[in-house]
Structure 1
Amino acid sequence: MKNKIVYYINVQDIKAVTDKELGRDLTEDEFRKVESLIGEKINWYDVILDSLREIVDETEFIPD
């Protein structure tokens, strides 16, 4: 399980949002910029921690 991908966004996901919101394809330059920004905007640590807090009892967490 060490290398299993848990979640990913693919080109079709970006295209679906672009089609719905813009009604057109992105230029190659726009796509590269969006691709870069997506990675910068997702705070993976907080997403994982929030998910853990939903399923694991708070007493199991290591105190700060």
Structure 2
Amino acid sequence: MLCLAEYGMRSLNKCRTEYEIVLPFSHGPELEAAIEDLLAEMHATADLCHCWIEASLHDPVAGTAWS
């Protein structure tokens, strides 16, 4: 969750399995690079803790998803 704190992370359910974050890019190459970096950081952090994660990001406005 450390990587998400800088994006105004907000839990969307009691189980804490879904979160809302806000990235400072609306679309384009900057957004794609930020998402790629964020997912890589999340996976690397989990790996350092000898864990794994399942992560997907969804833009409800554009209907785009990344995993």
**Same fold, TM-score > 0.5, yes or no:** no
Q: Which has the higher contact order (CA 8 A, sep 6+)?
A: 2
Q: In proportion to residue count, which structure has more strand?
A: 2
Q: In proportion to residue count, which structure has more helix?
A: 1
The structure with more radius of gyration: 1
